[in-house]
Amino acid sequence: MLRRLLQEELAAAWRAAGLDGDGAWIEVTRSERPEFGDFTSNVALAGAKRVGESPRALAEQLAPLVSEAHVERVEIAGPGFLNLFLRPGAVHRALREMLDAGDRFARSTEAVGTRLQLEYVSSNPTGPLTVGHGRQGVLGDVLASLYEALGFDVEREYYYNDAGRQVDLLAESLWARYRQVLGEEASIPDEGYQGEYLISMAESIAEELGDRFPEFDDEARRTMGAAAVERMTESIRGDLDRLGLRYDHWFSETTLHASGEVDAALASLTECGGTYEKDGAVWLAAEERGGDRDAVLIRSDGRPTYLMVDIAYHLNKHRRGFDRVIDVQGADHHAEQNAMRIALAYLGIPEGFLDYALHQFVSLKSSGEALRMSTRKGRFVTLGSLLDELGRDIVRYFMVARKPSNHLEFDLDLARSESLDNPATYIQYAHTRIASILRNAPADALPEASTPLDVLAEAEELELIKDLDGLPDVIHEAATSFSPHLIAEYALNVSRRFHAYYTEHRVLGDDAALTAARLALVLMVQRAIRCCLDLLGMSAPETM
RNA sequence: GCGCCCGUAGCUCAGUGGAUCAGAGCGUCGCACUCCGGAUGCGAAGGUCGGAGGUUCGAAUCCUCUCGGGCGUACCA
């Protein structure tokens, strides 16, 4: 990678100047404009304070010490930036290395052996998945792929609860719908599920069972609950599958209760001094550790709260031997995170064990109208209906193209567009177009390992190569800052640069040497785009 | 009231560990094809980066205040 290469050379220059330290802190970035060279370093600006010299003087001192192996010349600009102009040969060598690395050119081995678990969606089987779950699912899945690209051993987990109070409420709501279908007056409980999805379910149950449950007794509760959970689980799994989300592990909350892990977690917490009793309930002493307020762990009626069970769940994750876990959650869960961190701190689990990747909500825009989502109130657009209309690729792209911390306004008009106005289509088209070039290329024109690349002299070609060369950095940044949108943006940029290059320069021509080199270049462009599409979970079509 | 997120071009958004940061897409207007997939490309117009102070040689970026929007602030999950 060119950036790392230059970083090392600047560090070498730093040492050659007899300055303190190894220069590992030096930053090198792609230049914004051609007149600022290919890469720029802030070494003199950031280093000035370290050695007590003026940035300008330090720059003058370092510039001549930069090796000429890759750098043609160094210019000092502005307050003391070092602008590095590469020799074309260095760029060609970078392309050669990428070609030689094959399909794994953008992957890293930096984290091999580290076990990471990601948990996302984790919706209970009490209603259909919404577009909000869709965003979380894509976010989680793409993060998982990104971490895999860094070499992590990643496990994707879905946590759910198919028993307890919420399911009872679901059962009662379904029973009320069922009585309504049979022509009776029946009302859904106040905290129940108002969604219309229970109506069609009630219809088929009424047809199947007739008037067998006039009262909401124990048997009705069990039957209704089981029927609702079964159908909802089926619906959820179907949507996840269609969105391309595959899990390694499904974790049922019930097992935590059955195994005694909830009780055990409470006991450990108490042993560590993290709990106290008040008003007949057991509380987490959060304020003592800097939390906003203490939180109930065991209600006065003896039932554990969601938080208590979640603590047991995270203890379970830790026991399973993961080095790190990342929970992907919506912004509405923010408050709970502090309590969880404090609980884990009490239990002596290292701070770096748990990370939260937070995301804001999704609204849909179609000719100006926006819908808010709420499962309980039954107001939402389902993920399923969105998939029906747009398909996996488009849904995934739009879900992940925005920074997670921002609200996502899903532009249905743009998503529906089948033309290249649609960025998802535009990127895929670049891939397809290259596939077409490769199909048209005569067999003897195809590049080989020894194909000379130095005939690639156009500015657009060198820029393209530098872009390709930067992909590993983009992947690293996207993973570690929980920012998969950087991949979408990168893919769009490379596609744009390719389309412009294609219009300006012919790949297949009379000059055999030039044709072979250009084929090597576009092959690499295609590989980079395919890598991004793979990471995003989108297809990379050969034809469209 | 308090906590978190967000306010950047008509619209949707990148950029927010300082300097070389005023950017992209869509929309609008104009231009370019005897040729590898025109489902492409090039260009133009368009913004006092919500507002006001402050720190600095330098702020969309850091600090304070303020306005606007979202989400929390349950013995719900």
pLDDT given at position A384 = 92
In the predicted model, what is the mean pLDDT of residues A363-387? 69
C-alpha A152/C-alpha A363 separation (Å) is: 33
pLDDT given at position A103 = 85
* Sign of the alpha-carbon torsion through A171, A173, A176, A177: negative
Judge if the beta carbon of A453 is closer than 7 A to nucleic acid strand B.
no
pLDDT given at position A380 = 63
Amino acid at A148: E
Over residues A514-524, the pLDDT tens digits come to 999 999 999 99
Give the architecture-level CATH label for domain A115-158+246-358.
Answer: 3-Layer(aba) Sandwich (3.40)
Judge if the beta carbon of A503 is closer than 7 A to nucleic acid strand B.
yes
Judge if the beta carbon of A54 is closer than 7 A to nucleic acid strand B.
no
User: Sorting pLDDT into bands at 50, 70 and 90, what band is A371?
Assistant: low
pLDDT given at position A447 = 85
Which residues, including other chains, have CB under 8 Å from residue A125's CB and lie 6 or more apart? Answer: A160, A162, A167, A228, A229, A232, A233, A236
Q: Which nucleotide is nearest to A75 (CA to C1')?
A: B20
b (16+ CB within 10 A) / e for A384-413? bebbeebebbbbbbbbbbbbbeeebebebe
Report the nearest residue to nucleotide B13, CA vs C1'.
A402
Q: Which nucleotide is nearest to A515 (CA to C1')?
A: B36
Give the architecture-level CATH label for domain A93-110+419-536.
Answer: Orthogonal Bundle (1.10)
In the predicted model, what is the mean pLDDT of residues A321-334? 93
Which H or E run includes A407? none
Judge if the beta carbon of A420 is closer than 7 A to nucleic acid strand B.
yes
- Which one of A24-33, A48-57, A175-184, A415-424 scores highest in mean pLDDT? A175-184
Judge if the beta carbon of A114 is closer than 7 A to nucleic acid strand B.
no
> Residues of CATH 3.30.1360.70 domain(s) within chain A?
2-86
Q: What angle do CA A160, A376, A212 make, to 5 degrees?
A: 85
pLDDT given at position A163 = 86
Question: Is this complex scored with an ipTM above 0.90?
Answer: yes
- Which one of A61-65, A238-242, A386-390, A412-416 scores highest in mean pLDDT? A238-242
User: Sorting pLDDT into bands at 50, 70 and 90, what band is A148?
Assistant: very high
Count other Cβ atoms within 10 Å, centred on residue A70: 20
Count other Cβ atoms within 10 Å, centred on residue A448: 8
- CA of A399, C1' of B24: distance in angstroms: 18
- CA of A504, C1' of B42: distance in angstroms: 10
Judge if the beta carbon of A405 is closer than 7 A to nucleic acid strand B.
yes
Residue A394 reports pLDDT greater than 80: yes
Q: Nucleotides on strand B with an atom closer than 7 A to protein CB?
A: 2-7, 12-16, 19-21, 24-27, 35-42, 57, 69-77
For A290, what's the count of Cα atoms within 13 Å in the CB-facing half-sphere? 7
C-alpha A436/C-alpha A420 separation (Å) is: 17
pLDDT given at position A378 = 47
User: Sorting pLDDT into bands at 50, 70 and 90, what band is A369?
Assistant: low
Residue A525 reports pLDDT greater than 60: yes
> Residues of CATH 3.40.50.620 domain(s) within chain A?
115-158+246-358
Judge if the beta carbon of A40 is closer than 7 A to nucleic acid strand B.
yes
Residue A52 reports pLDDT greater than 80: no
C-alpha A293/C-alpha A291 separation (Å) is: 6
Which residues, including other chains, have CB under 8 Å from residue A241's CB and lie 6 or more apart? Answer: none
- CA of A314, C1' of B54: distance in angstroms: 44
Residue A368 reports pLDDT greater than 90: no
- CA of A506, C1' of B28: distance in angstroms: 32
User: Sorting pLDDT into bands at 50, 70 and 90, what band is A24?
Assistant: confident
Judge if the beta carbon of A418 is closer than 7 A to nucleic acid strand B.
yes
Report the nearest residue to nucleotide B19, CA vs C1'.
A79
Q: Give the distance between the most distant pair of CA atoms in chain A.
A: 91
User: Sorting pLDDT into bands at 50, 70 and 90, what band is A87?
Assistant: very high
Report the nearest residue to nucleotide B21, CA vs C1'.
A32
Q: Are A312 and A267 in contact (CB under 8 A)?
A: no
Judge if the beta carbon of A279 is closer than 7 A to nucleic acid strand B.
yes
pLDDT given at position A297 = 96
Residue A122 reports pLDDT greater than 90: yes
C-alpha A128/C-alpha A236 separation (Å) is: 6
Residue A91 reports pLDDT greater than 70: yes
- CA of A422, C1' of B25: distance in angstroms: 9
Homologous superfamily, domain A2-86: Arginyl tRNA synthetase N-terminal domain (3.30.1360.70)
Over residues A158-198, the pLDDT tens digits come to 999 998 888 999 999 999 999 999 999 999 988 888 888 89
DSSP letter (8 states) at residue A34: G
- CA of A310, C1' of B50: distance in angstroms: 40
pLDDT given at position A53 = 78
Who among residues 141-180 of A has its Cβ near strand B, under 7 Å?
161, 164-166
Q: Which nucleotide is nearest to A310 (CA to C1')?
A: B77
Over residues A335-359, the pLDDT tens digits come to 888 899 999 999 999 988 999 999 9
- CA of A510, C1' of B32: distance in angstroms: 24
pLDDT given at position A373 = 52
Judge if the beta carbon of A287 is closer than 7 A to nucleic acid strand B.
no
Q: Are A352 and A358 in contact (CB under 8 A)?
A: no
> Residues of CATH 1.10.730.10 domain(s) within chain A?
93-110+419-536
- CA of A402, C1' of B77: distance in angstroms: 27
- Tell me the percentage of chain A whose pLDDT exceeds 70: 97
pLDDT given at position A414 = 84
Judge if the beta carbon of A192 is closer than 7 A to nucleic acid strand B.
no
Judge if the beta carbon of A500 is closer than 7 A to nucleic acid strand B.
yes
Amino acid at A526: Q
Judge if the beta carbon of A416 is closer than 7 A to nucleic acid strand B.
no
pLDDT given at position A376 = 47
Over residues A263-322, the pLDDT tens digits come to 999 999 999 999 999 999 999 999 888 888 899 999 999 999 999 999 999 999 999 999
